[in-house]
Amino acid sequence: MNILTVQDLCKTYGAGDTKVEALKNVSFAVSKGEFVSVIGPSGSGKSTLLNMIGALDYPTSGKVIIDGRDIYTMKEEELSVFRRRNIGFVFQAYNLVPELNVEENIALPILLDYKKPDQQYIDELLGILGLAERKRHLPGQLSGGQQQRVAIGRALAAKPAIILADEPTGNLDSKNSRDVINLLKLSVERYRQTLIMITHNQSYASFADRVLSVEDGVVAELGGGAR
């Protein structure tokens, strides 16, 4: 079953001499429980693609269908709720709320949806992420690697249809980077989570089930990574 279908997606910025085609007729599908990595040089359109899939920006044309819903046919408020419930984000910058502790940051998407967190699931995430003994710590009391783990927990908390990770190891050293990649892969395997990850690192890309390449706004399949 495809959890994500991208059809003829185009994104153009500017016009005339300043016109830039950031995405050119991009089409691909991702199955539920699949880990897909996206590689390509800076300025190739990787982040633009992730922003379109995550409903953070609007395409010039084309469709993005997540869990059977054509997201760009939704009104803004409906899309905002859909995004909060169905898309988890992990960015290079951790984007944690400094006044909230680890546990509160992880549960935040659920609380914003006026729902009560499943405490057993939150505790399980804290354990898997190696944060159980730091759940009362504030982000400022954590290392960069620990903060990124909190961000992964937050992305998983609402059990979204899909997780989008944009250079999640960009601010981390090699050991923490490998730990984060392993945790993301574990989330795919343990929770049958779907993950699309942008990375510059070829070896991290190979952790995925499939690798997509973006160059000059064109997406191509590079085949399978490591299983």
Mean pLDDT in runs of 10 for the chain (227 residues)?
95 90 95 94 90 94 96 94 93 92 95 91 92 96 93 92 92 87 87 92 91 93 65
Residue spans of alpha helices (H) in 130-171: 144-157
Which domains does the chain possess?
Answer: 2-224 (3.40.50.300)
So what's the pLDDT on residue 107? 95
Is 0.95 topped by the overall pTM?
Answer: no
CA dihedral 202, 184, 195, 72 (to 10 degrees): -110
Within 10 Å of residue 172's Cβ, how many Cβ atoms?
20
